[in-house]
Amino acid sequence: MSNNTAPRKPAHWSDFDRYLKAEHLKGQAFTLTIARVEIEVTHPRPGVEATSPVLYFRETSKGLIVSPTNADALTALFGDDVTACIGQRVTLKAISLKVAGRDTQPIRIYATTGEIVTPPGSAPSAPTMPEAEAEKEKF
């Protein structure tokens, strides 16, 4: 008999990351469902603490620290009420950007496009991008 409650062994060092990073997306766009928004103390730079909103998704345990650019995107998509984004689907994609002479890859939030897919016996869901669907803990 096998013990199914044993913790899974990490395959990558990035498995230990608490927050999503560009390397988790592996160059792909993923459509995820916002489960909740938490306010957390983050460390944007060594020795610096900040209080930041963090999005958590149904499809992964890793959170996304909400940058000012992504906060603007969420406001444009769902309005100024933070709770309005709960249950909504968004697409995440890392982009290449030069900041202060450094190459960076921030994750950006985009509107999700596509057809509404409603499984039998359930309420209509938000639109999805089938080519960018994420699987639980794929990151």
Q: Is residue 109 part of a domain?
A: yes
Average pLDDT in the chain: 81
Q: Is residue 9 part of a domain?
A: no
Domain that holds residue 94: 16-132
Q: Is residue 138 part of a domain?
A: no
Over residues 111-139, mean pLDDT: 44
The total number of structural domains in the chain stands at 1
Q: Which of 98, 24, 101, 8 is nearest to 57 (CA)?
A: 24
Q: Which of 52, 3, 38, 33 is nearest to 136 (CA)?
A: 33
Over residues 38-44, mean pLDDT: 93
On the CB side of 16, how many CA atoms lie within 13 Å of its CA? Answer: 2
Pair type for strands 89-94 and 30-45: antiparallel
pLDDT band at residue 91 under the 50/70/90 scheme: very high
Q: Is residue 4 part of a domain?
A: no
Q: Is residue 37 part of a domain?
A: yes
Over residues 109-128, mean pLDDT: 50
- For 92-110, the pLDDT digits (tens) are 999 999 988 999 999 999 9
Q: Is residue 80 part of a domain?
A: yes
Q: Is residue 25 part of a domain?
A: yes
Whether the predicted pLDDT of 119 surpasses 80:
no
pLDDT band at residue 139 under the 50/70/90 scheme: low
Rounded distance between C-alpha atoms, residue 20 and residue 65, angstroms: 8
Q: Which residue's entry shows tokens 């890793």?
A: 62
Q: Is residue 6 part of a domain?
A: no
